[in-house]
């Protein structure tokens, strides 16, 4: 079914005609850019560029920052709890695990020599015993276990852009209790207003990517200078306050969360409030 076919079908629905999509919610598994493509390109779709699709709320793993009806939601990760007890047990586990690396980076090199990844890999591999590099280009990250293990053993996890600004790895690191280091505000800070706090310094470190690529800043040296107490406070906030909001509860389980709200519950509740406010 093509984009225009979807729109034509929607326009015939009684519920759509009532408010022309103002009370409709779309959950999309692609990033916004894949759904805002020109019809002349050989991949992607212009679905979200169509006039009829401007009213609905869109929950999406990577939002277009200038479209207010796009709302970013966390990438699904590796931990799907079935109960409050499982979340508490996970919190205890990542709270107690020894962090033997100050910094880590799990990622694949890029062919472009001007990529920030080239600078990060060079800086990381030069800081032996302080920074650990997991080369995903060697297929070491196909399974989540090696990446999760590395993040659980690290205090800071480097999160440069991938093929687009956002990274699933940001959520993998937060769920492991590792402080993400981002180099583009669109990686997380401008993406997830319902799930991440407005004060981004509570859970992450931002370093401008241009300063890294120009060698003005050595990322590892900058992170070494962050006081231990500050690192501990950030990790405490991530584990106690943030992590439960970023996981999706196990949909196949009969158990349910009572003490915690997971990412799905937060997204749906906020979307409902947003829809109600637009109709009153």
pLDDT block averages, 10 residues each, the chain of length 280: 84 92 91 77 78 93 88 94 96 97 93 87 95 89 91 98 88 98 94 96 97 95 98 98 96 85 96 91
Q: Which residues contact 258 (CB under 8 A, 6 or more apart)?
A: 84
Q: Return the sign of the alpha-carbon dihedral for residues 218, 220, 223, 228.
A: negative
Task: List the structure tokens of 133.
Answer: 């590099």
Q: For residue 110, what pLDDT is reported? A: 83
For residues 201 and 100, give the distance between their C-alpha atoms in angstroms, rounded to a whole number: 23
Domains delineated in the chain:
3-72 (no CATH), 84-246 (3.40.50.2000)
Contact 279, 23 (CB under 8 A): yes
Contact 248, 80 (CB under 8 A): yes
Contact 275, 57 (CB under 8 A): yes
């Amino acid at each position: 079914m093509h984009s225009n076919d979807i729109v034509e079908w929607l326009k015939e629905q009684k519920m759509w005609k009532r408010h022309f999509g103002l009370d409709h919610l779309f959950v999309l598994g692609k990033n916004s850019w894949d759904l805002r493509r020109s019809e002349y390109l050989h991949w992607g779709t212009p679905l979200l560029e169509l006039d009829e699709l401007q009213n609905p709320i869109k929950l999406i793993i990577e939002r277009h920052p200038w479209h207010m009806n796009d709302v970013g939601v966390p990438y699904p990760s590796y931990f799907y709890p079935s109960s409050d007890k499982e979340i508490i047990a996970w919190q205890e586990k990542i709270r107690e695990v020894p962090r033997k690396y100050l910094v880590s980076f799990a990622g694949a090199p890029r062919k472009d020599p001007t990529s920030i990844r080239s600078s990060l890999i060079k800086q990381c591999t030069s800081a032996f015993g302080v920074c650990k590099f997991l080369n995903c280009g060697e297929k070491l990250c196909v399974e989540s276990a090696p990446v999760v293990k590395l993040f659980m053993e690290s205090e800071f996890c480097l999160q440069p852009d991938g093929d687009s600004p956002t990274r699933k790895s940001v959520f993998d690191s937060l769920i492991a209790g590792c402080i993400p280091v981002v180099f583009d505000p669109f990686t997380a800070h401008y993406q997830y207003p319902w799930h991440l706090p407005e004060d981004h310094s509570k859970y992450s470190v931002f370093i401008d990517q241009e300063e890294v690529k120009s060698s003005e800043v050595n990322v590892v040296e900058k992170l070494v200078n962050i006081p231990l107490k500050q690192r501990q406070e950030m990790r405490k906030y991530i584990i106690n306050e943030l992590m439960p909001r970023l996981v999706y509860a196990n949909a196949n389980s009969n158990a349910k969360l009572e003490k915690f709200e997971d990412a799905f519950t937060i997204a749906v509740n906020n979307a409902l409030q947003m829809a109600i406010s637009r109709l009153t």
